Chains A and B, each alone.
Chain A
Amino acid sequence: MSGSLIEIGLGATSLSLIIAVASMILAFLSLHRGAPSFLHAARHGMILIAVLTTIGCFTIIWSFVIKDFSVLYVAQNSNSQLPLLYRLTALWGAHEGSLMLWLWYLATFSAIAVFVHWKSHPLSMPYVIMTLAGLQIGFMVFILFLSNPFIEVHPALPDGKDLNPLLQDPGLAFHPPTLYMGYVAFSIPFAFAIAALARGQSGREWVVTTRRWTLFAWVTLTSGILLGGYWAYYELGWGGYWAWDPVENASLMPWLTGTAFLHSIMAQDQRNLFQTWNVFLIITTFALSLLGTFLVRSGVLTSVHSFAADPGRGAYILLFLIVVSVIAYGLLIWRGHRLIGPHKVSNLVSRESALLYNNLLFVAAAIIVLTGTLYPLAIEVLTGERVSVAAPYFNKVMAPVMLGIVLLMGIGPLIPWRKSSYTKMQKQFTIPIGLAVLISIVSYFLGATDIIAMIAIGLVGFVLASTSLDIIGAVKAHRQVTDRSWLSSLSVLAGNNQRRYGGFIVHLGTLVLIIGVIGSAFFKEESTVNMKPGDQVVSGPYTLTYKTIVPQKGPNYSERMAFFDWKKEDGTTGTLTPSKRNYPVTQTVTTEASILSTLVGDLYVVLGNEHGKGEVTTRVFWNPLVNWVWIGWMIILFGVLFAMTKRAPKIVSTPNKKPTKEVLV
């Protein structure tokens, strides 16, 4: 019975490959003969593929649920003691299932995109379907011939192995699928970019459509990256959330170029600038998503996070990457000039030039991350030497770029298109600059001795001040006309210009996130001490007393758990219980940090080695403001939702209709 279930999954996936090939051919023919029925058939094909891959995914998940160890993938990544939640998330616990999840996302997004944009993009649709079907074929061939999750073993194994213990954690359970969703969602704007190049035209709805999908992909990728950071924070036990690990870098690169695109698309929307550049950014973002997969999956770069490394599969992903990039960049080189509009950025100080600087900085950041990540590989291939490029390098080199980006955040959205005058700038920015300098100086006396920290704090103050002054100014002006209250004025303004104010909210979230980063990076207190029962240690506003250490048993692990009592300066008390877990099936030891999380900061305790008689090496961190990183993320999520609730403008019949001015997102 169950054996046949997984066969259904295999059958459905195989069938979807045939349909994808057929859809691609039909879409191509519809272009050639102009027969709408062909394109309709291709559309049905895309929807059918989404259904079939859903069935494929479901059969694997169900095999995990019923503990069917005759399925090799299930046997390799779960066992009978594994809790249900982790049996469900085990779908993406290893290579084969992750790829299946990719395919499922791709098929679902493709179907949605084809369905939703069918009417508004009649001329682009054949190209969009061809591109998406092509990408699907690439993944299907990979899944069916090189990394098949549907393989059965007869007779069934008595029990499975275990899911990678690092993945047995709610944080990591949801980090990969969110990240993948972000990666895959970039395929839709990518398909529209290909269509634009093929048609030599990127019209008005192209801007709207690509922006919406990119925004969705961007916010998902952001969430995936931050979920990963959150997981690293409390699971890896070194008190930090971002290590500049190759896998993290791989996810950061498309994020950087995607962010650049979300900004520069405004210039195309408003001023008809940067058309080729925007297409380049979208192609690059998707190519970097694929590159990320290649780097993680091929074992070219090994990392804490990478689980399955297989050069044979690596070769296939590389081939796929080459095909996709050659076609996409080839089209760009061949036909990119057709998209170029008549205008250029003409003024040093204007919204469009600010966007240009923004793009340069984001792309520079992406190039830095790319070179830093690939440098060890390049050196090894060239000279045979092995070197490491890790956190210290990236922190040094990226800091100035990031500061530049924060500075622009406080200027770009507030200056007008085309040209700003000196007197206007002076009026706008004198107070914020003064405030920034003041905050920097004050922060020095509050203990910000690092020059980067001082500048960063000053810049955050600058952006907050200049943005609030701008919004206050707008509300004031609005009130003079309408005589409303402050709050209702603001809500009317925001409601009338959801993209601009959504953008402000996203910027605010980013600032909050940056505050968290500054706090936890520059004001962290860390101490490593050997503690005997009864010993105390001070960290931040807390005094920690070590009580005892005891053995405990979990569902599929055993652990040594230590008990620490904490007492705050104000008299509140509580207990922290860091532990070391031993997973016998996979023979791995994990360190479980115990965290007292507050808005002011986190008290973070990790165990080191034991020295007998209850003596244990203890690492205690005081991470100020670290929670603001996650709060910032929530605000970003809300801002994107706010911006996206604005309905896409209906197709206008008069080409002269003026689009809304001042749009941010």
Chain B
Amino acid sequence: MRQLIAFVCINMILITAPVSLFAAETVTTPQMKVESELEKKIRTVATKLRCPVCQGESVYDSHADVAVEMKRLIGDKLKAGESTEEILTYFKDRYGNFVLMEPPAEGLHWVIWVFPIFMALLGGLFLIQNLKSGAKELNDTKYDDFDQDDASDQDNSKVSEIEELRL
């Protein structure tokens, strides 16, 4: 469906484009607009950059002056044939890693990328340890009342405060 609409729109533009070129001087005819390919490319670059004066917002999402100008510059650079990487490097060289939405996986910043994996390992280790000792308890246990509804009912720590007061 989406493709179909896009196809129709592109066709309409192709058909209307020459007309509107002629008409531009006299009166602008209403157009069916679609997002340009350039705008799409701008989005891929600008969502990777952080608006320097906002917090947490990307350049693409921000309405701040700097962000708006950055978007324009990105557009110009894309038109000049620069790659996404080159543009990101341009801003990184001037604003530092601060301007990137996520730290690059290089140098010290490996830490934040490795950390979740490290934590997953730690969690797994903890689980194995815990379940092992639990299983050991299951084997060693003197209780044979596991078929009962709740073995822990006799447990002292389940005594209520009122009862404790009476004891």
Contact = CB atoms under 8 A, between A and B. Distances in A.
B26 interface: no
A330 B113 CA distance: 32
B96 A341 contact: no
Interface string A341-356: 1111111100001001
Interface residues of A, number: 86
Contacts of B19: none
B150 A658 contact: yes
A609 B96 CA distance: 28
A556 interface: no
A271 B152 contact: yes
B39 A527 contact: yes
B130 to A, nearest CB: 6
B102 A275 contact: no
Interface string B25-49: 0001111111110010001000010
A81 interface: no
Interface residues of B, number: 68
Interface of A: 120-124, 201-205, 237-240, 243-246, 270-272, 275, 302-304, 339, 341-348, 353, 356-357, 360, 364, 367-368, 371-372, 375, 379, 383, 385-393, 397, 418, 447, 525-538, 545, 589, 591, 608-609, 651-653, 655-659, 661
Contacts of B131: 345-348, 353
A608 B63 contact: yes
Contacts of B102: 388-390, 392-393
Contacts of A533: 30
B126 interface: yes
B55 A304 contact: yes
A655 B63 contact: no
Contact of B39 (A201, A385, A397, A529): A529
A246 B55 contact: yes
A124 B96 CA distance: 54
A344 B2 contact: no
Contacts of B109: 379, 387
B116 interface: yes
B73 to A, nearest CB: 15
B146 interface: yes
A246 B56 contact: yes
Interface in B139-157: 146, 149-155, 157
Contacts of B74: none
Nearest to B166: A653
A437 to B, nearest CB: 25
A593 B58 CA distance: 18
Given A390-B56, A536-B31, A275 B98 contact: no
Contact of B34 (A302, A372, A538): A538
B101 interface: yes
A476 to B, nearest CB: 23
Nearest to A371: B115
